[in-house]
Amino acid sequence: MAGRTPGPLTAQFADADGRLCAAGFGRPIPELAAACGGPRAVMYFDGSLRTDTAVIHPVPIPERFARGAAERRISVSLAFDPPVRRQRREYLAGDMTFDLLRNVDERQIRERYERQGAQRVELFKTPQRIKLEPGVQASGNSALQVRHFRPRRLDPDVGDVYYVVVTHRSAPWAEEGDQGYSLVVELVEEERVQVDLYAEVQQQVRLPARLRVRR
């Protein structure tokens, strides 16, 4: 999230998958990693979840951020440290993924994700399930994932809270336990730089930060 792809590589690789293979998530920018403010608001969680569960993280979306046509960005980063067994082909003890949802409530999310065991139900589709880049197929096998949503317009009528749902799935050989992870959500006004998005998010932040869903 606090990294940028160098200009020459951006020009050389027209598609996001090519840039991801060539430069990963880009060159780190220390000042972005250390602070936020003004038109850029960063929210983070550092903790753990039970293996084979999902956790719902509310994300405040200020009305001013959602209104009007302008360049804006929502980025979500997930990092975790699964146990490994080098002698196995599938050497990670588990994988984690996340979805960014809107125009739904916590009850609806809980009901859908709780039924991902034996009696599976279909998860949310677009537009409730926001399409992020790169897609889950390109990043889902990594212990570090950074995905972006760059809408020119948002609909303020879908609500002032989006949700990031973080899901863990164990490998068949793994033992039950807890998995540590860090989650970062970044809201950026890339065109309306005079907007104090940081202050707007501060006013809207509500706790508790997350809800756990058994799967």
Asked if residue 144 is part of any domain, the answer here is: yes
Q: What is the pLDDT of residues 11-64, one digit of tens each?
A: 666 666 666 665 566 666 777 767 789 999 999 999 999 999 999 999 999 999
Asked if residue 185 is part of any domain, the answer here is: yes
Q: Which of 90-104, 109-123, 136-150, 161-175 has the lowest mean pLDDT?
A: 109-123
26 contacts 3 by C-beta, under 8 angstroms? yes
Taking the C-alpha atoms of residue 23 and residue 5, their distance in angstroms, rounded to an integer, is: 7
Half-sphere exposure of 183 (CA within 13 A, CB side): 24
186 contacts 60 by C-beta, under 8 angstroms? no
Asked if residue 18 is part of any domain, the answer here is: no
Output the pLDDT for position 123.
84
Asked if residue 171 is part of any domain, the answer here is: yes
- Read off the CATH number of the domain in which 62 is found: 2.60.120.380
Give residue 214's pLDDT band: very low, low, confident or very high (50, 70, 90). Answer: low
SS (H, E, C) 108-169: HHHHHHHCCCCCCCCCCCCCCECCCECCHHHHCCCCEEEEEECCCCCCHHHCCEEEEEEEEE
What is the reported pTM?
A: 0.84
Q: Which residues contact 78 (CB under 8 A, 6 or more apart)?
A: 96, 97, 98, 144, 145, 166, 181, 182, 183
Q: Domain count for the chain, please give it.
A: 1
Asked if residue 138 is part of any domain, the answer here is: yes
Output the pLDDT for position 39.
95
Asked if residue 78 is part of any domain, the answer here is: yes
Asked if residue 27 is part of any domain, the answer here is: no
Asked if residue 11 is part of any domain, the answer here is: no
Beta bridge partners of 39: none
Tell me how far apart the 2 most distant CA atoms of the chain are, in Å.
54
Domain range for 144 is 41-192+208-214
Taking the C-alpha atoms of residue 82 and residue 97, their distance in angstroms, rounded to an integer, is: 13
